[in-house]
Amino acid sequence: MRVLVVTAVAAEADSVAAGLGRFAGAGVRELTGGYEMTTHAQFTPRPGSVRIPVVEVLAGGAGPVAAAVATATALAASPYDPPYDLVISAGIGGGFAPHAPLGSLVVADTIIAADLGAETPDGYLPVEELGFGRSVHSPPAALTARLSKALDADPRVHSVLAPILTVTTATGTAARTAELTARHPRAAAEAMEGFGVAEAAAAHSVPCAEIRAISNTVGPRDRASWRIGGALDALRYAFTLLTPVFEEPS
């Protein structure tokens, strides 16, 4: 299986790459636009595999626009044919209580652009209700089930399969938290890149998933309570657990 993992920043990419330690032959190649990509290839395919498993990790920038541009650039510049079997948006994010406590992992069953729409006197309207565009991507259920099963293989890991919201402004107030929770009661996490990655992947007809390690609780902004180091450790371990999925024949 060939997998492209897109993170926002280098610290997230480094954690993902560290989790892929079972893969040998790491290297960096440059992409159009000045991006650098770390490649992890396992040179001994599992029995029945017809292609060498490759996982490439790209730090594409913060926010859905930067993530979409970086992902589209990577897909267009891929030396493989077809380019990838799977694209994953990965990183740390905020967790909605009580669904996703600090240090837990969230696999998206839907990827939702939570602020792509319009405010009206009667409330928020998603872009679909305005008559154009889309604000939701639904990863293949079989894929998310495999990812969740791999994470749940370790009983010490707390993971949840639930919607992940993509926002362009990180939530920092109780009022905004209440609004998002009312509109998306099942949402377990928010981040800033997933929908952009999913849009680019869809344009290239490649399945997309999103995985978040929870560094803070969605709510009033309180940096003293954030646990970024712990979330990066959880992200690293998540990709250690996921390597068997990436080694499956495509």
Task: For the chain, give the longest Cα–Cα distance.
Answer: 60
**What's the rounded mean pLDDT across residues 77-94?**
90
- Closest Cα partner for 187 from 203, 206, 171? 171
Query: How many domains, the chain?
Result: 1
Q: Is the pLDDT of residue 247 over 90?
A: no
Residue with tokens 């949402």: 187
Length of the chain: 250
CB atoms within 10 A of CB 27: 9
CA angle, 212 then 139 then 187, to 5°: 50
Range of the domain at 198: 2-246
The domain that contains 98 carries what CATH number? 3.40.50.1580
Residue 81 confidence class, pLDDT cut points 50, 70, 90: confident
- Closest Cα partner for 232 from 105, 60, 107, 111? 105
- Closest Cα partner for 164 from 229, 221, 208? 208
Give the model's pLDDT for residue 230: 96
Q: Is the pLDDT of residue 102 over 60?
A: yes
71-97: b or e for each residue (b if 16 or more CB lie within 10 Å)?
A: bbbbbeebeeeebbbbbbbbbbbbbbe
Tens-place pLDDT, residues 8-35: 999 999 999 999 875 544 555 556 566 6
Tens-place pLDDT, residues 167-177: 999 999 999 99
Q: Is the pLDDT of residue 50 over 60?
A: no
**What's the rounded mean pLDDT across residues 46-65?**
73
Q: Average model confidence (pLDDT) for the chain?
A: 88
CB atoms within 10 A of CB 122: 6
Q: Is the pLDDT of residue 246 over 90?
A: no
d(CA 155, CA 160): 13
